[in-house]
Amino acid sequence: MEREPSRSIARALDGWLESVVQHVDAWMSDADIGSGQRWNEAISKSLDETDFGIVCDTRANQHAPWLIFEAGALAKSVNEGRVVPLCIDLKSAEVTGPLSGFQGRALDRDAVKRLVKI
C-alpha cells in the first residue's frame, strides 16, 4: 500500500509533536477528516490556518495523487511559513515533484531534532 509507512509515521508525529512542542496543534488529514466530510474543504480550511507543514515522503508515494494534492495545496497556502518533506526512505536530493523545491529532512534522530527546533 502506497500510504505505508508514511501513514504510520504521520500518525506517530501527530501525537508526538503536540507533546514535545506545546504550541503545536497538529493536524493530519487521515485522522482529522471525519466520515462524510468533504475532504477537499477540510484540507483547505486547515491549510488556511497553518504556517507550517510536514509531508511524509517516500519513494512509493511521492507521485501519488493524494500527496501531490496535499503538498501543492500546502505549498500554495503557506506564504510565509514552511513546508518540510520528511524523507522516509529517500534522501532530500531524490525528492521530485512539487516537494523538490523545499528543504527536506531525513527521518532520523538528528534531523527530526532540527525540525522541532525550527
Q: Where are the domains of the chain?
A: 6-116
Confidence of residue 118 (pLDDT cuts 50, 70, 90): low
Euclidean distance between CA atoms 22 and 41, whole angstroms: 27
The predicted pLDDT at position 1 comes to: 45
Single out the residue of 66, 69, 73, 75 nearest to residue 104, CA to CA. 75
Euclidean distance between CA atoms 109 and 118, whole angstroms: 15
Largest Cα–Cα distance of the chain, in whole Å? 39
For 11-56, how does the pLDDT look when each residue is reduced to its tens digit (9 = 90+)? Answer: 888 888 888 888 888 888 778 888 998 988 888 788 778 878 889 9
Checking if the pLDDT of 2 tops 60, the result is no
Q: Are 2 and 65 in contact (CB under 8 A)?
A: no
The predicted pLDDT at position 87 comes to: 94
- How much is the average pLDDT of 95-116? 88
Euclidean distance between CA atoms 39 and 45, whole angstroms: 10
Find the DSSP H helices in the chain. Answer: 6-20, 29-32, 39-48, 65-77, 109-116
The predicted pLDDT at position 85 comes to: 92
Question: What's 6-116's CATH class?
Answer: alpha beta
The predicted pLDDT at position 58 comes to: 92
Euclidean distance between CA atoms 88 and 73, whole angstroms: 21
DSSP 99: G
